């Protein structure tokens, strides 16, 4: 393992909202509606040789195939921010399920009516842009304001080691999947937007993921 230290940018919340897998839900709804309608209007007994809309229906099978095809074939990551669960998946197979911590949704305002920060985890489709071992945290202005401290003028006063765990996976705009010192809070929405993961789960994610691995957050 390389001992070279890397720097991680501060987590800056995004306001982007995107529903994940909407097409899956729509397709599933169509299956249910069409199945119910066909059962009301077609009797298999009165139509020998014709399947209804059950398991053997060609249309049902076609819709199911379309749903499956919407999922990436390669390894990918899905995060449920409401329930604080991360899934490492390949196709329809779940390889690993991890308890995580996502953004709190809290709002921090700078004294004097200045800047405002909303600590949400962004929703949508992303991909792994960087893989970092032994990351440092470069503390942003809000971290000092939140602690009631003056924002330092010297950049080296912003550097904090051993805070983000052993690994970090960056997925853009200062957001990372990283470790945590507060493992007792896993499963709760308590972060400033990044994704906190326990040590063992983080190690498995880091080893499995590569640059370009897709990330879906909802």
Mean pLDDT of 142-165: 94
> DSSP code of 206?
H
Output the average pLDDT for the chain.
Answer: 79
Query: Where residue 64 falls among pLDDT bands split at 50, 70, 90?
Result: low
Residue 1 maps to a domain:
no
pLDDT above 70 for 43:
no
94 and 149 housed in the same domain: yes
Count of CA atoms in the C-beta half-sphere (13 A) of 4: 4
Residues 33 and 138 both lie in one domain: no
The tens digit of pLDDT for each residue in 77-121 reads 999 999 999 999 998 899 999 999 999 999 999 998 789 999 999
Placement of tokens 């063992």 in the chain? 200
pLDDT at 28: 45
Q: What is the extent of the structural domain holding 48? A: 23-69
Residue 63 has what pLDDT?
A: 63
Pairing of strands 75-80, 214-217: parallel
The distance of Cα 49 from the centroid of its chain, to the nearest Å, equals 46
How many C-beta atoms lie closer than 10 Å to residue 25's C-beta?
12
| pLDDT over threshold 50, residue 47 | no
Is 56 in the same domain as 82?
A: no
Is residue 50 domain-shared with residue 80, that is, in the same domain?
Answer: no
- pLDDT band at 35; cut points 50, 70, 90: very low
- State the DSSP code for 150: P
Same domain, 102 and 128: yes
pTM here is 0.70
What percent of the chain is predicted at pLDDT more than 70?
Answer: 68
**100 or 54: which carries more pLDDT confidence?**
100
Interior angle at CA 8, CA 7 and CA 12, nearest 5: 150
The CATH number covering residue 183 comes to: 2.40.440.10
Residues 194-215: tens digit of each pLDDT: 999 999 999 999 999 999 999 9
What is the total count of domains within the chain? 2
* Pairing, β 116-118 against β 159-160: unpaired
Residue 60's pLDDT is what? 66
């Amino acid at each position: 393992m390389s001992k070279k230290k890397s720097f991680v940018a501060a987590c800056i919340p995004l306001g982007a909202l995107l529903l994940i897998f909407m097409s899956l839900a729509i397709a599933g709804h169509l299956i249910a509606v069409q199945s119910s309608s066909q059962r009301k209007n077609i009797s298999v007994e009165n139509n020998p040789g014709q399947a209804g809309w059950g398991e053997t229906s060609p249309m049902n099978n076609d819709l199911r195939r379309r749903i499956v095809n919407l999922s990436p074939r390669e390894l990918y990551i899905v995060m449920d921010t409401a329930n604080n669960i991360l899934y490492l998946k390949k196709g329809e197979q779940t390889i690993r399920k991890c308890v995580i911590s996502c953004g709190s949704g809290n709002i921090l305002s700078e004294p004097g009516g200045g800047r405002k920060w909303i600590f949400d985890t962004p929703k949508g489709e992303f991909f792994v842009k960087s893989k970092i071992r032994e990351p440092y945290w470069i503390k942003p202005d809000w971290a000092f304001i939140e602690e009631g401290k003056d924002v330092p003028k010297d950049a080296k006063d912003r550097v904090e080691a051993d805070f983000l765990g052993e690994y970090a996976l960056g997925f853009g705009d200062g957001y990372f999947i990283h470790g945590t010192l507060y493992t007792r809070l896993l499963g709760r929405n308590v972060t400033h937007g990044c994704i906190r993961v326990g040590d063992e789960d983080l190690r498995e994610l880091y080893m499995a993921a590569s640059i370009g691995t897709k990330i879906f957050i909802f």
